[in-house]
Amino acid sequence: MGTLMLSAEEEIRSSLRENRMETVTILIPEKTWLRYGEAKARDLPKRIPEFLRTYGKYLSSVKRLNAQARKTLYQPSSGKSKMRRVNVRLGTGSWTLLGALAQAHGVSRCYLFNYLLWLEEIEVGDSIVDMMNAGTPAFHRSYSYIFHLDLSHNQVYRRLRCDPESIFYAADSQYWNSP
């Protein structure tokens, strides 16, 4: 009997941030489009880097948006509600981080973007910035998205690992204000 040796160590590697912008497409529900008006709605995707700074740590630590690891949630069918396509030029790092967070939550980038818009509309961002980002970096140092299929135990899971995992050392504000 012979031995078959396979290597599963293949990977794809790219620079996270490049000195160029990518043109990406975001779908925005018609009702959101109308609520903001055309001029403001066209600029909404440009806020993705700001949303990631505000909500990045929050998204990495909250309950996942999709309860099913084997499925990816997308926007509602265009038959029920119309969607508007908006093209925007965005940095590669922002688009990649949005994608990793979306995959960890089991949703599309567009779904996550519209969720972030909703968080902004209900003004969650201010409390998150005050609580989670005060005196600490806005981002983890690294993110690792894992999509694990365990065929022998009939399990599938999505996991986001971050470094630092759970503890950020915050500068005490009393030292900022001391003479």
DSSP symbols for 76-131: PPTTTS-EEEEEEEEEHHHHHHHHHHHHHHTB-HHHHHHHHHHHHHTT-HHHHIII
Contact 75, 111 (CB under 8 A): yes
Predicted confidence (pLDDT) per residue in 49-98, tens digit: 999 999 988 898 899 999 999 999 998 765 656 888 999 999 999 999 99
| Local confidence band at 143 (pLDDT 50, 70, 90 cut-offs) | confident
Give the residue carrying structure tokens 């365990």. Answer: 150
pTM > 0.85: yes or no: no
Q: Which two tokens stand for residue 27?
A: 């779908």
Angle at the Cα of 114 from the Cα atoms of 113 and 117, rounded to 5 degrees: 90
